[in-house]
Every structure is written in C-alpha cells, then in structure tokens.
Amino acid sequence: MNLDTLAKRLDLSCKCCWEKLNREVTGGYTGDLLSDVMANSKAGDIWVTRQVHKNVVAVAALKEHAAVVVVQGAEPDVDALEKATAEGIPIFTTNKSAFEITGLIHGLLREDKA
C-alpha cells in the first residue's frame, strides 16, 4: 500500500513531501526511543512516534523509512519539517494515540497483503 492510500484511509494530515506519497509502505514501527527505532525498525517502515524534533528525521532518513506519523495532535518542529523536506521524508500528523493509529495501520497493511 502506498502512503497516499494509507493517509486517505486513516485521515492523516500530510505536513511535507507531498510528491513522495506514491512511496510504498512495507511495514511499520512504533516508538519514542530513538535507539530502539534505530536498532529495530526497517527500511520502508512507517514510523509512529510522539517525538517532534529534528533528530526524528535524522533517524528516519538513516533507516530509509517510508514516512513518519506524529501522534496525539502534536505538531512537528519547524526545523524538523525543513529537514524532512530536504531529506524527502513525509511527516504526517494525527489526533489519534500511538496505540490507536498503530493498530489501524497494522490492519490496513495486513489487509493489503492478504
């Protein structure tokens, strides 16, 4: 499933890199500890987090994540959005909790693979 479809189905708000929304999402990872995400997430994952600072983009770019989803109605920092634009990492926001959006994303990806 690509980012565009996933974002529309889950009503995610895209904050940057609209031109990258045809990118495929192959999996997902949820976490706020950057070392945990560095160690355990995979390329192509959509990363669900409550962190909003610029270092999130550094991790997402290093891991080649498909995109980042910032939860709980939080807004990414301005310099995070600038870096995300430069690195080509779309950032989405949602009012849902990490628990809820992770479950929904998981369901959609599983349905897509079935």
Partner 1 sequence: MQLHEDERYLQGRYEVQGRDFVDAGLVSSLIKKALKDKGIDEDVIRRVAIVAFEAEVNIISYAESGTISLYLLPDSVVFEAKDVGPGIADIELALQEGYSTADDTIREMGFGAGMGLSNIKKSSDVFEISSEVGKGTCLRSVIRLDGGETPGEGDGR
Interface residues with partner 1 (CB under 8 A) are: 32-36, 38-39, 43, 49, 51, 53-56, 58-59, 61-63, 79
CB of 11 to partner 1, least distance (A): 26
Comparing CB distances to partner 1, the nearer of 6 and 37 is 37
CB of 66 to partner 1, least distance (A): 16
**Which H, E and C letters describe 50-112, residue by residue?**
CCCCHHHHHHHHHHCCCEEEECCCCCCCHHHHHHHHHHCCCEEECCCCHHHHHHHHHHHHHHH
Comparing CB distances to partner 1, the nearer of 87 and 100 is 87
- Tell me, rounded to whole angstroms, the distance of Cα 13 from its chain centroid: 11
Comparing CB distances to partner 1, the nearer of 64 and 112 is 64
CB of 79 to partner 1, least distance (A): 7
Sorted by sequence, the CB contacts under 8 Å of residue 101 that are 6+ apart come out as: 10, 48, 69, 71, 94
Instruction: Report which residue type is found at 33.
Output: L
Comparing CB distances to partner 1, the nearer of 13 and 55 is 55
CB of 4 to partner 1, least distance (A): 26
User: What tokens appear for 50 in the block?
Assistant: 């409550």
